Amino acid sequence: MADFLSQNEIDGLVDVSKDDQVQLNKLFGDIASDKLSNNKNFTQYDFKRPNRISREQLRTLRNLHDKISRDIASNISGLLRTMTEINLASIDQITYGEFTMSLKNPTSYNVISMKPLEGNCVLEINTNLAQGIIERLLGGTGIIEESLTRDFSEIELSVLGHILTLIVKPLKTGWESVHTINFNIESKESNFTNVQIASANEIVVLVTYDFKIKEEKGFISLCYPILYLEPILNKLLISNLVPETNKNATNSEIHILLAGVEVQLSIVLFQDVITLTNFLDLNIGGYLLSTIEQNSELQLSVNNKPKYWCSFGVSDTTKVVKITSEIESEKNLTINKLKQIETLREAKLSNLLEEMAEHENIKQIEEQLEREEEND
């Protein structure tokens, strides 16, 4: 084929159909026909919406937010005193501009900080769902006949804040398996155009939940700008590979794992106070007189923490130390003191019950004597 197409060739290209293999073969031959057919050896890529998160990382985020949805449903059901269903509908990578274009004013648009990460994320509750929740919390039926056309009032936003707290708390718990993030509500808005947490072309992770309270349905959306999640993206793969059984190891398993760990034992066998003059007179080969005598009480430390009382002595011409007792820490002293108080309390309660029983017996005897006297 020449470098420039003739008019006939151009007309042939315009008339050619993607699925018309006969015309493709006539114009380009079998090789070009295969490349333009359904058996493509290339993939489409949109440079305006590049994938910043891999499939494995998205799978981890899906599992994480699926667990979060169950915790949110439990919390909200307890507050609203009714059955609540929350299911993870989707998790996608889109631009922040596409996310805001899907919203309508008014809506519950809440900016949430993600310390120690920089930037904020967004929790959005659509209008009908927010109205129904507010209606129920204020004692109504929760059935909305007409959508709200004005901004939420300060009172309505304050009432809705109770639900926001119950949603934000499971977020922190759910993300702890990946990274410790302190989610905190920074602002509550009715008009999303008043706040912009990222540029319109910035890629975000959009998590959408189906929310159902009896017959009322709605959506809750979480929008994470990937720009702020980048410092912890590598942890999403690691956390996905860690088996959950290791996180809930039993005491016996922990004991087996720690059995080979080495600990340092130390005992101070010499301790004295001398003057600076005597210290300056010290020379190599000099002697220091130890004040420690046989059977002296010493402290045995484990990793520099005092653990046992022991005595110094000799056994079969070998210098040894004998453990005599355990050093009670402040925690153990407090526990023992509380046990003593509990023992005294139980003793007093037992004596009081015995006195009450004895008093009741005496009262019954007196009543019986009175009845006998009346019968006589």
CB 75 within 8 A of CB 63: no
Structure tokens that stand for 96 in this block: 């922040």
Task: Return the structure tokens found at 207.
Answer: 């998590």
Six-digit token pair at 150?
A: 């004005």
Given a contact cutoff of 8 angstroms between Cβ atoms, the answer to whether 107 and 62 are in contact is no
Residue at 347 is within a domain: no
Domain membership flag for residue 316:
yes
Maximum C-alpha span of the chain: 141
Is residue 135 assigned to a domain? yes
- In this structure, the answer to whether residues 71 and 178 fall within a common structural domain is yes
The rounded distance, in Å, linking the Cα atoms of 215 and 117 is 38
Range of the domain at 17: 7-36
CA distance 100 to 123: 12
pTM above 0.85, yes or no: no
Q: Are 221 and 100 in contact, with CB atoms under 8 Å apart?
A: no
User: Is residue 240 located within the same domain as residue 274?
Assistant: no
> Do 12 and 104 share a domain, yes or no?
no
- Angle CA 242–93–39, to nearest 5: 95
| Distance separating the N- and C-terminal Cα atoms of the chain | 139
CA distance 36 to 51: 25
Residues 272 and 237 in one domain: no
Structure tokens at 268: 């101070």
Could you tell me if 69 and 201 lie in one domain?
yes
Is 363 a member of any domain?
no
Per-residue pLDDT tens listing for the chain (376 residues)? 445 667 777 777 666 544 455 555 555 555 444 555 555 555 565 555 556 778 888 888 888 888 888 888 888 888 777 788 888 888 988 888 888 888 888 888 899 999 888 889 999 988 888 887 887 887 776 666 667 778 888 888 888 888 888 888 888 888 888 888 899 989 888 888 888 888 888 889 999 998 887 777 888 899 999 888 888 888 887 544 454 445 556 677 787 778 778 888 888 777 778 888 888 888 888 877 776 776 678 888 888 888 888 887 777 778 788 888 887 776 677 777 788 888 888 888 888 888 888 888 887 888 888 887 777 6
CA 351, distance to chain mean position in Å, is: 49
* pLDDT tens, position by position, 54-113: 888 888 888 888 888 888 888 888 877 778 888 888 898 888 888 888 888 888 889 999
The answer to whether residue 376 sits within a structural domain is: no
Pairwise CA distance, residues 232 & 370, whole Å: 85
**Do 322 and 207 fall into the same domain?**
no
Which residues pair with residue 346 across a beta bridge? none
Q: Is 132 left (phi over 0), alpha (psi -120 to 50) or beta?
A: alpha
Is residue 303 assigned to a domain?
yes
Residues 16 and 99 in one domain: no
Q: Are residues 27 and 135 in the same domain?
A: no
Do 200 and 74 fall within a single domain?
Answer: yes
Residues 163-186: b if buried by 16+ CB within 10 A, e if exposed: bbebbbebbeebbebbeebebeee
Decide if 311 is inside a domain.
yes
- Residue 367 covered by a domain: no
Strand ranges of the sheet holding 120-125, from the earlier edge strand across to the other edge? 84-95, 203-213, 216-225, 120-125, 108-115, 182-189
Residues 195 and 81 in one domain: yes
User: What is the domain count for the chain?
Assistant: 3
Q: How far apart are CA 136 and CA 80, in angstroms?
A: 7
**Residue 78 sits in the same domain as residue 27:** no
Task: Specify whether 61 is located in the same domain as 31.
Answer: no
